[in-house]
Amino acid sequence: MSSIYLYCLSGPACVAVVKQLAEQKEAGIDDISPLLTLEIGGIVAVIGEVDAGEFNEQNLQSMEWVGQRAYRHAALVEKIMGSSSVLPVRFGTLFESTESLTRLLTRHSERITEFLEKLRGKAEWSVKAYLDEERARSSVSAEDPAIQARIASMSSAPGARYMQQKQVDVMLDAALRVWVADQVRHMGEALAADAVDSAELRLLSSEQSGRPERMVSNGAFLLADSVLPAFRETLFALHAAGREGGLTLELKGPWPAYNFCPDLGVEN
C-alpha cells in the first residue's frame, strides 16, 4: 500500500532545490521512491511516496535497513536546510494520504510558520563533553586538601594501608562527582548565554560515541549565525580551562533543529 513519507517542512524557497534533488536517484530514502513537494499556505512539505509495508517491525528492527535509509533522510534534510529554514521530522513518519498530511499542516499552520521564521539564520549545534577519568582523578586528588592529608597520614603497614586507600578512593569518587557536576553546570550556563535556546540530551555510551572517554555532558544549542564566532570563543576557553582536569569538549554542526521542534502530534 502506497503512503506519504514526510521528510521535513520548509518554505517556498526549498522547492527549486527539491526539484534538483529529485533528479538524482539517491535523493530520497531509497533509489525508487519519488521525491515531491506539497505546498499548503506557504508551508512546503517535502515528501515521498513509499510502500508502507516496507516499514514493518522486522525491517524497523534491522540496523542495516534502518541505518541506510535514516542516513539518507538526514542528508536530504541537511541539503534543504541550505536553502531555507527547516522543521525536520523523524525518520519513518508516514501519512495515509496527502489529504491527511494537509489536515495536519492546516491545523498547525500558525505554529509551523512561527517556528520556520524563528529558525531564519539559525541552526542547531551540539556540544559534547568527555572525561579522561584517570587524568581527572589525579587532578582532583592533587587539589583537594582533605584527600592529600588523608594520603599523607596513611599507614606503612600493608593491611591498614589497604583499608585506608579504600577510604581515600571513596573520598575521591565523591569529590570527582562534585567537580564534574560543577564543571558541567558552568559550561552549560556559559554556552547557553549565547544561544537562542538549549537542551540537555541523554548521555551516550562509549560504544555509541565511538570514544573511549566517558561522556559527561551532551547539549544541543540553537544558535544564530551571527553569534557563532563568540560561541566558538567561549567553547575554546572552556576547553582550555578543563583540559588539565581531563575534560574535552567537542563541537559539531550545523544541524537541522531536531531538538527544538514544536510538537505537532506526528506519530511514526
**Model confidence pLDDT, tens digit, residues 162-199:** 888 888 889 999 999 999 999 999 999 999 999 999 99
**Model confidence pLDDT, tens digit, residues 237-267:** 999 999 989 999 999 999 999 999 998 877 5
Asked if 115 contacts 109 with a C-beta cutoff of 8 angstroms, the reply is: no
**Model confidence pLDDT, tens digit, residues 114-166:** 999 999 999 999 999 999 999 999 998 988 898 898 888 888 888 888 888 88
Q: What is the DSSP letter of 24?
A: S
Q: What is the pLDDT of residue 2?
A: 86
Rounded to 10°, the helix 145-152/158-192 angle is 170
**Average pLDDT, rounded, for the chain:** 93
Q: What is the pLDDT of residue 267?
A: 58
Rounded to 10°, the helix 109-118/98-107 angle is 70
Q: What is the pLDDT of residue 168?
A: 82
